[in-house]
Amino acid sequence: MTNRLPPLNPLRAFEATARRGSVSAAARELNVTHGAVSHQIKALEGSLKVSLFERGAKRLKLTSEGALLLPAVSQAFGEIAAATAQMKRPATSGELSITCVPALLSFWIVPRLNSFTEQFPGVRLKLAASNDPAVLHSSDVDVAVLYGDGNWPDAWTRLWSNLQLFPVASPTLLNSRPLRSTRDLEDHILLHGDADGREWNTWLSAADAVDLPRRQQYFMGDARFSTEAALHGQGIALGDTITASKLIARGELVVPFDLSVPANDAFYVACRPAMRSAPIVRVFIDWLFASLEADQLAEPHTSARTLLRSRRA
């Protein structure tokens, strides 16, 4: 026997009330009266024969049954909204909103945008720099490329690339202030692309230099800014095998030490599950992976060791 689903309007009233935290706020959102929302919720409770909200408390609170129902209802409405948006969007044309790690966006994606545009001229890209996983729950973002552990609830994720980290510096800086050994790092400013210095600590530990005195350090919060500071000769940054590869190949950055370490996290492509099937999202994700594979075939030097040997040669 087929289970009969509750009517749509009471479910909508319940979801809006639970999400907004009050009947009045839900009524304003749905553009109906306070009494209409209350009536819809009571009708839903009557249909399900359970109480969805605790009555009498100062603050609106879900019962255990309401807490069980809410995620399923929220996901269903989200998928309906996404499907409706896809119906209105041509398969591989229209606007595609992308959020990306700032360093990857600046040093890897932007230099390759012409390749995507040539393949899909009907797609208008809207690009934003961010590494905040919260964007995965925003209806304004179609797909994201993030640096992290990939463990983001209620999101589709796929590993895009692991990273190796190694010090990089401007050749101009090293001509005036050489780096012959790790001890020479004392005379340089360490440029941090993270907020807590974990990445430099990992590299220094591998170099048996974790106790090295650090007289000057700049914490920049993102590898884009630490790399740009290194390009301007402001200090020594940690580069990676993705965002720094072209800069090293062009001689704008050099690798002073023959040592690389695995990054704490990795690059992931992610989006809301409902958006994964959208053709315009699929073509961009496929392009990301194909472009990375083409880079790896064209540039076999993927570690600090081989990059350094190539530079010395």
CA distance 313 to 309: 6
User: Domains along the chain?
Assistant: 8-88 (1.10.10.10), 99-313 (3.40.190.290)
Amino acid at 201: N
For residue 254, the model assigns a pLDDT of 95
Q: Does 151 or 304 have the greater pLDDT score?
A: 151
CA distance 245 to 239: 8
CA distance 146 to 270: 7
Interhelix angle for 23-30 vs 8-20, to 10°? Answer: 120
For residue 74, the model assigns a pLDDT of 85
Write down the pTM of the prediction.
Answer: 0.67
For residue 307, the model assigns a pLDDT of 41
CA distance 296 to 56: 63
Q: Could you read off the pLDDT of 188-211 as tens digits, one per residue?
A: 999 999 988 999 999 999 999 888
Residue 203, Cα to own-chain centre: how many angstroms?
24
Q: What is the mean pLDDT of residues 140-168?
A: 94
Please state whether 154 falls in left (phi above 0), alpha (psi between -120 and 50) or beta: left
CA distance 98 to 208: 40
Q: Could you read off the pLDDT of 92-113 as tens digits, one per residue?
A: 668 999 999 999 999 999 999 9
Mean pLDDT is lowest, of 22-26, 202-206, 250-254, for 22-26
Q: What is the mean pLDDT of residues 67-93?
A: 74
pLDDT exceeds cutoff 80 at 55: no
Mean pLDDT is lowest, of 35-39, 115-119, 214-218, 305-309, for 305-309
